[in-house]
Structure formats: C-alpha cells, structure tokens
Amino acid sequence: MATSLGFRIARLPHLWRSILDRRLAPLGLTQTRWVTLYHLWRMGDGQPQCDLARAIGVEAPSLVRTLGQLEEQGLIERRACESDRRTKRLYLTAEAMPLLDKISRVADEARQEMLAGLSEENIEQLDSWLAVIENNGLTLQERDHNMETV
C-alpha cells in the first residue's frame, strides 16, 4: 500500500495540471504562462524575478522567456529595482486581471470536481496529512543537503 501511495501522490500534480491545461487552453494560455501569472498574482506585485522563479520551482533564466511572452501580451510589466538596477521587479497589468479571475474560477471549479465526495472535514484532514508529509520531506531534504556539505 505504501508503494502505491507514493505513486498516487506523485501523479496528482500532473493530473491537476493536465486538467487545468485543457480547460485554460481556449484562453491561449500554456501551462508555463498560467502558472507564472497565477503565482505572481498570489505573491503580489513588485516581486523580483528570482523570487517568482523560486516559488514556481524553475531556474531564473528559464523564466525569462515566459516573462517576455507575458510582457508582449500586455499582461505583465518588468521594471528595474530602484535599489539594484540588475534586479527586475514584476507587476501585473490591468489587462491581466480579467484573465486571472477566469483562471481562478476554472481552478476553483476543477478543485471542487476533484474533491467531490469528500466532506469539509475530510478535506481538512487531508490537508493536515499532506502538511505532515511535506514537512517530513523538507526535513529529509535539509538533512540530506547537510550530509552532502559535510
């Protein structure tokens, strides 16, 4: 059972993104673009590019192309940081807001459908268990990293 649990946990993010990709495709959004927009929206305007990359889980240079595309679409602006001209800060444009509202509605609908059959109490318990698993993983990751640097 534990073996299949790991595969199931690993499969869920791929399934979730696949469902959202299919539902957001009519809006002309690739996964990379909607994930980037959504994270920036949740983090708030004025984020440095490197912080957004870290939040998404990609290398900063990999994000640059996507940001360029979003900028060309008029959805974001990149501005130089006043304290460090090498750093670019990101801002959503007014044109992005209706699109982000649509992304949010699509994600909420998909979430409700995926969690169908679970009570609010079940969902809270699941969230609690996932937090424990995530914290255990972060502890393991830190311990492994510390062992590599010794």
For residues 6 and 114, the model is more confident at 114
Q: Enumerate the domain spans of the chain.
A: 21-114
- Which DSSP letter does residue 78 get? E
CB proximity list for 89: less than 8 A, separation 6 or greater: 46, 47, 48, 49, 78, 79, 80, 81
Tens-digit pLDDT profile for residues 39-96:
999 999 999 998 999 999 898 888 999 999 999 999 999 998 777 777 889 999 999 9
Structure tokens that stand for 122 in this block? 């079940």
Nearest to 25 by CA among 12, 15, 34, 13: 34
DSSP 25: G
* 125 pLDDT higher than 90: yes
pLDDT of 26 > 90? The answer is: yes
What Å distances lie between residue 16 and 12, 38, 106, 108, CA to CA?
6, 15, 12, 12
The topology under which CATH files domain 21-114 is Arc Repressor Mutant, subunit A (1.10.10)
Tell me what pLDDT residue 18 has.
Answer: 94
Within 10 A of 2 (CB to CB), how many other CB atoms are there? Answer: 5
At residue 86, the pLDDT reads 75
Whole-structure pTM value? 0.77
Q: Give kind and range of the element (H or E) at residue 90.
A: strand 88-92
